[in-house]
Chains A and B, each alone.
Chain A
Amino acid sequence: MGRLGHRLRFAGKKLLRMVLLLFGVSAVTFALMAASPLDPLQTNVGQAALGSMSPEQIAQLEAYWGMDVPPLERYLSWLIGALHGDFGTSLLYRQPVLTVIGQRLRSSLWLMLTAWILSGVLGLALGITAGACRDRWPDKLIRGYCFTISSTPAFWLALLLLMIFSVWLGWLPIGLSIPIGMDAASVTLLDRLRHAILPALTLSITGVANIALHTREKTIDVMESDYALFARARGERPLAIAVRHGLWNVALPAITLQFASISEIVGGSVLVEQVFSYPGLGQAAVTAGLGSDLPLLLGITVVTAALVFAGNLAADLLYGAVDPKIRRGAARS
């Protein structure tokens, strides 16, 4: 068994587990939605409108919302479709689920990617600084920031930024004033960018805290390690140690942390997009949830879970590429 074969087998095992977990996610999501006592007709058509309809019309609507088929049967037919790449049709948007997700994901992806990179880089830098200056003022400042931010709901921070930059200063547009269903073609790139600044900023600010705090812990571990002591005994300065020895040794756990933060960023985007009326995946999830649009919410949950699992997988694989023990160890065995 060569080195490559070893790595491939490892990746294969992880991939299989990921697929199984995705099945689980879809089943659980479906079960939760199907168990809901909420009547999709009442929420979407309204009590008054329902009252004025004929039984045939109501039966037709019930068929549209899939209320006349037993849940297990519905799930199985969804699953068969999904395996063939058909995630069903969104009941609210009247479009294939994958089309809706594709559109929404494209506008959300920029938001999440910016926030992911910004919070990762900033979090790493702040965490290492704090860890290297343990218990001195930079550490206290950074810890204070992280602590405050992790106690702040993302949506309130979004509201705050909206109040400051859009209402008071008037620098950036108020997301609320842009109609949700605006024609995509009429929106210029600059316009889009201006709308994305505040959501991306909110997501980055909140994302930094967790990564910085964890990186700080790891940096402290490194600074208290035998090899850091030896580096100091050899006359290296604390900051130089943090950079020369800390950076790489912190990079390993940081990779895991960075990819694990995908779940948080997706969660945060749901809230932030809602505040800024940003037409992304998160907003679609809320709309689908409030309107009992089962196929869409199911599709969004499966897709985001796939993102999260793919992140974990990427972290595992990258870890092996960075850690010489795994890299060279596998080469030897």
Chain B
Amino acid sequence: MRTSNRRRSTLSFLLAAAAALAVVTVVGILLTETAMETDFSRTGLPPSLDALFGTDWMGRDMFARTLSGLSLSIRIGLLTAAISAAVALALGIVSAVCGGLVDAAISWCIDLVMGIPHILLVMLISIACGRGFTGVVMGVALSHWTSLARVVRGEVIQLRQAPYILTAQKLGVSRAGIVRRHLLPHLLPQFLTGLVLLFPHAILHEASVTFLGFGLSSERPAIGAILSESMRYLTTGKWWLALFPGLSLVLVVMLFALLGDRLRRLLDPASVHG
């Protein structure tokens, strides 16, 4: 029986998805100007070849607004996921390496953060930072590190008992040296996958808090803001204002989720089978 080589096709998929996301990001940045342009001669147009996603009540092109919103979402997603993952990595390692009181304190913090529903916590942090860009970035970044921190902690504790680490300790390699030379290389695959899998959550939560009014200001063409505005025009039958931006966001999030899933499968040693 011959099946296609799954690893090779996984890699090509990874590259294609990353390229698609990169294109959306760049095109979105380039379209930001167009996205803000108003044209009162063509307000509230339904989708057509001229305006693919239609126009809104100020005659702004929804296609440009959607793309530039997606670009903004992706960039915020990358930023927040990176901060989140860094926090998770640091706290997870510190927790596992120090143990005792430090470990207990960090575990307690994780429980605490997990006890507050995500959206509420993002709202609270955003308020503390005065809302806006800083608010949403800090909010999303500081509420998403918990699960990954637990994974890192568990992994490090397991590694610490590995025979070769114990040997290195006996040989007098310093703590920092062990962390750098033995722990980090082993953690990297787990960490990378965790990082990519953070993107979808980060993007969804950014859109959600912006939608609620705690995130990016409504002048910015962010998906959350676009959808929040669209609510006012729903009853008048302007369905395209909500449909296309939302659908595009779903597609981008799905792409990120697939990317993370495939990466996990590629890096997971258990996937040698099949």
Q: Tell me the A residues contacting B by CB distance below 8 Å.
A: 17, 20-21, 24-25, 28-29, 31-33, 35-38, 147-148, 150-156, 159-160, 162-163, 167, 174, 176-177, 263-264, 266-268, 270-271, 274-275, 285-286, 289-290, 292, 297, 300-301, 304-305, 308-309
Does more than half of chain A's interface fall in helix, strand or loop, or is it mixed? Answer: helix
State A170–B112 Cα separation when bound (angstroms).
43
Contact (A150, B123) CB under 8 Å given A24-B108, A304-B117: no
Contact digits for B218-245, partner A, Cβ 8 Å, 1 yes 0 no: 0000000001001100110101001100
Checking A28, A152, A159 against B231 with a beta-carbon cut-off of 8 angstroms, the contacting residue is A159
Q: Are B239 and A156 in contact (CB under 8 A)?
A: no
Q: Which residues of B contact A289 (CB under 8 A)?
A: 123-124, 127, 212, 214
B15 → A minimal CB distance (Å): 21
Does more than half of chain B's interface fall in helix, strand or loop, or is it mixed? Answer: helix
Contact digits for B157-191, partner A, Cβ 8 Å, 1 yes 0 no: 00000000000000000000000000000000000
Indicate if B30 sits at the interface (CB-CB under 8 A). no
Indicate if B249 sits at the interface (CB-CB under 8 A). yes
Checking A29, A36, A148, A155 against B227 with a beta-carbon cut-off of 8 angstroms, the contacting residue is A155
Q: Which residues of A contact B54 (CB under 8 A)?
A: none
State A146–B119 Cα separation when bound (angstroms).
21
Q: Which residues of A contact B114 (CB under 8 A)?
A: 263, 308
Checking A21, A25, A159, A271 against B212 with a beta-carbon cut-off of 8 angstroms, the contacting residue is A271
Checking A20, A38, A150, A304 against B130 with a beta-carbon cut-off of 8 angstroms, the contacting residue is A38
Checking A25, A267, A290 against B118 with a beta-carbon cut-off of 8 angstroms, the contacting residue is A267
Q: Are B204 and A301 in contact (CB under 8 A)?
A: no
State A300–B120 Cα separation when bound (angstroms).
9
7 pairs of residues in contact across A and B, judged by CB atoms under 8 Å:
A32-B125, A35-B128, A153-B208, A156-B250, A263-B114, A289-B214, A308-B115
State A269–B129 Cα separation when bound (angstroms).
24
Checking A35, A160, A271 against B119 with a beta-carbon cut-off of 8 angstroms, the contacting residue is A271
Q: Which residues of A contact B231 (CB under 8 A)?
A: 159, 176, 275
Q: Are A33 and B128 in contact (CB under 8 A)?
A: yes
B24 → A minimal CB distance (Å): 15
State A24–B114 Cα separation when bound (angstroms).
12
Contact (A25, B128) CB under 8 Å given A156-B249, A163-B239: no
Indicate if B111 sits at the interface (CB-CB under 8 A). yes
Q: List 19 other contacts, CB 8 Å, given A28-B112, A31-B128.
A: A32-B124, A32-B128, A36-B127, A36-B130, A38-B127, A151-B200, A151-B253, A159-B234, A159-B246, A177-B235, A264-B117, A267-B117, A271-B119, A286-B213, A290-B214, A292-B127, A297-B124, A308-B116, A309-B115
Indicate if B144 sits at the interface (CB-CB under 8 A). no
State A33–B123 Cα separation when bound (angstroms).
10
